[in-house]
Amino acid sequence: MFTLTLHNKYSWEITQVSDVSLKLIREIIQRYRFLKVPKGQPVAEDNVIRLISHGFSLRISLSLTRKSDRKRCGRGGVDNINNNLPVNPLVDLTQKDWWFQHYQGCDKEPPADGDYLELPAGGSFNVEIATNRAFTTFGHDKNFNGYFGGPQQLEYTPWGCVSYPNLHTPNQTAAPGTVFAISYQNSIDKVTPENLVVFTVRYKTPWQRVTSYDVPKDLPPCPPGGCTCAWGWVPMGCGQPNMYMQGHKCIVTGSTSTKKLAVAKPPVYCEHDRSKCVKGAKQMVYYYQKDGNNVFNVPVMPTYNEVMGFPEGAQNDIFEDSDLTSNIG
């Protein structure tokens, strides 16, 4: 098995693709598109084939599996627009390695000083979700819209899951949800599961490239040097069980609040019994790893929605003095 992915090295661009080349590409896709497993239903493996086209240009990159490639986040001090390493899934890793993607060095490559994700208290903020930085407005083409990388014809597995782009869902309605969490620590080395609190949830994502998240109105200002935030996603299925965690430097704007975040607790599966849902500040979902998990023995994937007790939108009950008497859902 070999892997075709977008990568910052070993890449080339074909500006005009001949009929022979297209035939070869189609044969490669047909032969290697899915990972076959000996038992049960076939599973679409992340990053088995990822061909992304735009206009008349087809960009194909060959990712070589080497330890040196897996230990860095792909920037290396360079403003690299062809980079998909920060969005690699996390699965079967030790907590030391999966925490903020330490295994590939993402926790050691902070943004430039003063470069923050701004969170307007009581408002909302937009982000771009894509399989590669090239397919955002950081890339060469500033006119992307729609799905990952622009308008395209979705492709499906034989059992009905979207395989291109690899969204781990049969449709947008079934897309489980994604979150942002915040820690009032300006150093990533001081962030823990207990002080990293989920503050916003968006159902039916990821799907569109531009995604909006709501911010609690009482979220207080960050300390000097900013806060540490994380984006998270647990797919609902349609592929290998895994999770995603991507770090960001962030600041809260327009806030005079003096409230303090409560200590975050692990979320609990409560899909069919709302009384079991954890109220108040909740941790991100840590699942399917060698250690450091905070969710165990759930009957379905522990996704960021009603399944694990996460209401949609700003999480307004995450403070020490929050009223937790109301029911969830």
Look up the domain containing 247 and give its range: 72-314
Confidence of residue 131 (pLDDT cuts 50, 70, 90): confident
Query: What is the pLDDT of the chain when averaged over all its residues?
Result: 76
Per-residue model confidence (pLDDT) at position 80: 74
Show the tokens assigned to 294. 């905070």
Among 163-172, 290-299, 316-325, the range of highest mean pLDDT: 290-299
Cα separation, 224 vs 221, in Å, equals: 9
Confidence of residue 25 (pLDDT cuts 50, 70, 90): very low
Question: Over pLDDT 90: what percentage of the chain?
Answer: 50
Per-residue model confidence (pLDDT) at position 21: 42
The answer to whether position 175 is within a domain reads yes
Whether residue 55 is predicted with pLDDT greater than 50 in this model: the reply is: no
Long-range interactions of 46-50: CB distance < 8 A, separation 24+: 46/88, 46/89, 46/166, 46/239, 46/240, 46/242, 47/3, 47/5, 47/88, 47/166, 48/1, 48/3, 48/4, 49/4, 49/164, 50/4, 50/5, 50/6, 50/84, 50/131, 50/164, 50/165, 50/166
Show the tokens assigned to 4. 């075709």
The answer to whether position 140 is within a domain reads yes
Cα separation, 312 vs 240, in Å, equals: 25
Show the tokens assigned to 109. 């490559």
Confidence of residue 166 (pLDDT cuts 50, 70, 90): confident
Provide the number of structural domains found in the chain. Answer: 1
The answer to whether position 42 is within a domain reads no
Whether residue 36 is predicted with pLDDT greater than 50 in this model: the reply is: no
The answer to whether position 137 is within a domain reads yes
pLDDT tens digits for range 4-20: 222 222 222 222 234 44
The answer to whether position 204 is within a domain reads yes
What's phi and psi for 214, nearest 5 deg?
-95, 145
CA angle at residue 222 from 105 to 327, to 5 degrees? Answer: 95
The answer to whether position 283 is within a domain reads yes
Question: How much is the average pLDDT of 284-288?
Answer: 97
Yes or no: say if 328 and 311 are a contact pair by the CB < 8 Å rule: yes
Whether residue 124 is predicted with pLDDT greater than 60 in this model: the reply is: yes
The CA–CA distances, whole Å, from 14 to 55, 56, 136 equal 12, 9, 20
- DSSP secondary structure, 61-82, as one string: EBPP--HHHHTS-S-TTS--SS
The answer to whether position 24 is within a domain reads no
Question: Over pLDDT 70: what percentage of the chain?
Answer: 71
pTM: 0.76
Whether residue 120 is predicted with pLDDT greater than 70 in this model: the reply is: yes
Beta strands in 227-279 (DSSP E): 227-233, 244-253
Question: How much is the average pLDDT of 284-307?
Answer: 96
Q: Which CATH number fits the domain that encloses residue 133?
A: 2.70.50
Question: How much is the average pLDDT of 84-112?
Answer: 90
The answer to whether position 29 is within a domain reads no
Whether residue 251 is predicted with pLDDT greater than 70 in this model: the reply is: yes
Confidence of residue 75 (pLDDT cuts 50, 70, 90): low
